[in-house]
Amino acid sequence: MVEQRLEEWLEEGYVASFRTACLILGNRADAEEAVQDAFLRAWRFRNSLSGVPSIRPWLYRVVVNSCYSKLRSEIPHRDRRADDGPLAHLPDPTDRGADPELRAERSEVAETVLAALQRLPVSLRVPVVLRYYADLSERDIALAIGRRQGTVKSRLHEARRRLADDPALSALVGEAGDTLEEAGR
């Protein structure tokens, strides 16, 4: 039963997990490795899921820990390839049918958002990504990062304040608000 639930979530949650890792790490290749390691580890230790009430925050915790591992031990000691920078693969090739002007505008928005996220410390970046991209509740975020719910709340507040104070992001929101709303829709 647990294996079936896990397998279903792995199938369904791969895209969300991969993009969550992308937002945290800012690098597609690192995110791919981190998610792969996390999913393999989750599958290997699937027996420990029997006592877990909800699989989703548990799996996000595995993904986040894998991202932490990348950030802590591997990324600082590795020469980053010039062609595999944080914003390498930003243009979405699946979006070939969209208007080129709109595609360029979206790419600019994505770069700005990613740059603003990378300027946040990891302790704030992870909860804000989990909250506003992965759509986890504060309680689930607390489970995922192993902190108290109050800590998550204060970190989310601080992250929102810093993002609001980010001049590039503020300018982007002011200029491309309509585009964002359209893209959000």
Of 34-93, binders to another protein (CB under 8 A) are: 35-37, 39-48, 58, 61-62, 65-66, 68-69, 71-73, 89-93
Of 120, 128, 141, 142, the one binding another protein by CB under 8 A:
128
Cα 51–Cα 57–Cα 60 angle in degrees, nearest 5: 120
Q: Where are the beta strands (DSSP E) in 70-169?
A: none
In whole angstroms, give the CA distance from residue 43 to residue 142: 22
- The count of other CB atoms within 10 Å of the CB of residue 39 is 21
Cβ-based nearer residue to another protein, 72 or 81: 72
Of 82, 97, 174, 178, the one binding another protein by CB under 8 A:
174
Told to check if 109 binds another protein by CB under 8 A, we report yes
Applying the rule CB under 8 A, the residues between 140 and 169 that interact with another protein are 146, 160-161, 163-164, 169
Told to check if 136 binds another protein by CB under 8 A, we report no
Structure tokens at 183: 């893209």
CB of 81 to another protein, least distance (A): 17
Which residue type is seen at 21?
Answer: A
In whole angstroms, give the CA distance from residue 121 to residue 6: 31
Cβ-based nearer residue to another protein, 32 or 154: 32
CB of 170 to another protein, least distance (A): 7
In whole angstroms, give the CA distance from residue 179 to residue 173: 9
Radius of gyration of the chain (CA): 17
CB of 157 to another protein, least distance (A): 10
Told to check if 126 binds another protein by CB under 8 A, we report yes
